[in-house]
A and B are shown apart, each in its own frame.
Chain A
Amino acid sequence: MTFKSHRAGLAASLALAAGASMLLALPALAQTAAAAAEPTVNKGDTAWMLTATVLVLLMTIPGLALFYGGLARSKNMLSVLMHVFYTVCIVTVIWAVYGYSLTFTGGSSLLGGLSKAFMAGMTPDSKAATFSVGVAIPEYVYLAFQMTFACITPALIVGAFAERMRFAALALFVPLWVTCVYFPIAHMVWYWAGPDAIDAAAKALAAAGDEAAKAAAQAKLDEVNADSGLIFQWGAIDFAGGTVVHINAGIAGLVGALLVGKRVGHGRELMTPHSLTMTMVGASLLWVGWFGFNAGSNLEASGGAVLAMVNSFVATAAAALSWMFVEWGAKGKPSVLGILTGAVAGLVAVTPASGFAGPMGAIVLGLIAGAVCYFFCTTVKNAFGYDDAFDVFGVHCIGGIVGAILTGVLVNPALGGTGIMDYTTGKIADYAFATQVIAQSKAVVLTLAWSGIGSAILFKIVDLLVGLRVKPELEREGLDIADHGERAYAA
């Protein structure tokens, strides 16, 4: 078996625990340790990553913008489109200036440093690690690919407090949120030294002759393994962003919906979607773009990418059907909005699992996610009465949690999963159910706490500085006129 792609491994914990004794049992590996070749860039991988990057941008604009926009009332259509488009623009600039550096350079296990701020030292020939030893992609395309993730995550949040938050408040909240919440979480989950560094250190250890050399090599390996994010070190796996993107955005959305407050007339007046046609177009663009998101997260045009693609097909379809049939049974009619929302819930849930689960596991994951998200978007939301306008919490946070936890189960090779690569041994590590599910759960809890608390503080700061809400009479008139002086549709 060649190298399986994945975001994180048990590498760190295993290496620290098992250490040299495990490696001494592999004399064959020691012989190949000599010269670690400089990783090379492959045109096919580069072409795929360029494609995947624009697919993820397509998810956000116009995909997510139309998905949300159709759910709004017509008087707030432009406001929703503007929130999403502005978010893409501001985060793109921030990412190039300091976001990429804070996320993807070493520093602490919580946040990176500023060594690559202003893209310092980067050229079109710079390389970024993939998940295979000896294989790199251009750092520019890695930066651009990860940029699109940083853009869509805060754009997901806007659905929760749509139709009443001031544009000025959003304009301030988004840069604060990506800086204080997104960059740290993405660093904690995804930053690592890369396969080549671990492989080289492991081989050096295996080749070490005397005790002093062994100790030095072990220290080097420990250092390489420690050069990674906190959640990565815990051994939690997240292929394409279940924690980083969806739980992170989902809980921030719930906090925002609670702090901004309910829309005027919520629960008493008609707040029906103004165009489910646009919502259907948007949901479909999300699905198409999501292949860039999930299969692109493999970073190489290889077997891991095609697995992620198949999983993103079947889990999505299963979740859409799951929601549709549950709703049909519970409410008497299968709704278009239901099947669309189920599909998005399936995409969310399969995101962390897409490169780890087998396709049959992904179908089961989709079936569970569709039903669970339905329950949260209907029964739970109604019971608590919060006004999460477009169900950011019910779909992204809950779907993300279902996906994150079940990824720890479905990665099991006995269930058709890929297992987890251990780069210190160059083999798939033994699967341990409890260890993996506990690591996944810790990642979920830390993300919920960091984003939940961090977002609450940031919303309060923004409220003090510019005020979160528009005035009630302006909210009644609609945010398009109040905030932007425009109408989506001719009167």
Chain B
Amino acid sequence: MKIVVAVIKPFKLDEVRDALNALGVHGMTVTEVKGYGRQRGHTEIYRGAEYTVNFLPKIKIEVAVESGLADRVVDAIAAAAKTGQIGDGKIFVLDLATAVRIRTGETDAAAL
């Protein structure tokens, strides 16, 4: 199993969810996060005070999938979240050792 972690622009969330639904992915965890990469930040001005804001609001998605599906999930997210502008985000894929569905006690593939 793999866990796919994607950090995307907030307004791309709906498109990404639709794309993953189309692949048969039936669950995800979403977190509002802040961070920066090549986009760096932006400048805010309050009266005379100028602040460089380094951390920009992003959405982090975590999706647990069977290993065979991971590449297609990555491709789907990449396609749906892309604007071509700097700051589109990143996707990370990690190995996932165990999964348990709490209600039934099912494990691993059956729990996804």
Contacts and interface: CB of A to CB of B under 8 A. Distances in A.
Nearest to B52: A270
B46 A337 contact: yes
B48 A270 contact: no
A377 interface: yes
Interface in A270-299: 270-273
B47 A338 contact: yes
B55 to A, nearest CB: 9
A335 interface: yes
Interface residues of A, number: 17
B67 to A, nearest CB: 38
Interface string B37-48: 000000011111
Contacts of A391: 47
A378 B46 CA distance: 9
Nearest to A333: B45
Contacts of A377: 47-48
A331 B53 CA distance: 17
B102 interface: no
A341 interface: yes
B49 A337 contact: no
A254 to B, nearest CB: 15
A31 interface: no
A474 B44 CA distance: 27
B45 A331 contact: yes
A272 B48 contact: no
A341 B51 contact: no
A270 B47 contact: no
Contacts of B48: 377-379, 381-382
Nearest to B53: A270
Interface string A381-395: 110000000010010
Interface string B20-50: 0000000000000000000000001111110
Contacts of A381: 47-48
A382 B46 CA distance: 12
A378 B44 CA distance: 14
Give the size range of B's interface with the partner.
under 10
B40 to A, nearest CB: 15
Contacts of A335: 45-46
B51 to A, nearest CB: 5
- Give the one of B46, B48, B49 with max A CB within 10 A: B48
A341 B47 contact: yes
B47 A378 contact: yes
A382 B47 CA distance: 10
Contacts of A378: 47-48
Interface in B46-100: 46-49, 51, 53
Interface in A412-467: none
Contacts of B44: 272
A341 B49 CA distance: 14
Contacts of B47: 337-338, 341, 377-378, 381, 391, 394
B29 to A, nearest CB: 21
A278 to B, nearest CB: 14
A489 to B, nearest CB: 16
Nearest to B51: A270
A76 B61 CA distance: 33
A156 to B, nearest CB: 17
Contacts of B46: 272-273, 335, 337
B79 to A, nearest CB: 34
Interface string A307-350: 00000000000000000000000010101011001000000000
A274 to B, nearest CB: 11
Nearest to A331: B45
By CB atoms of chain A within 10 A, which of B44, B46, B51 has the most? B46
Q: Which of A270, A331, A338, A394 has the most CB of B within 10 A?
A: A270
Nearest to B47: A377
A383 to B, nearest CB: 10
A248 B44 CA distance: 32
A171 B62 CA distance: 51
A331 B45 CA distance: 8
Contacts of B49: 271, 382
A381 B51 CA distance: 16
A381 B50 CA distance: 13
Contacts of A394: 47
B32 to A, nearest CB: 15
A272 B46 CA distance: 7
Given A270-B53, A271-B51, A272-B51, 6 more contacts: A270-B51, A272-B44, A335-B45, A337-B47, A379-B48, A381-B48
6 contacts: A271-B51, A272-B44, A335-B46, A377-B47, A378-B47, A379-B48
Interface of B: 44-49, 51, 53
What are the 8 A-B residue pairs with the smallest beta carbon separation, nearest first? A378-B48, A377-B47, A382-B48, A381-B48, A270-B51, A331-B45, A377-B48, A337-B46
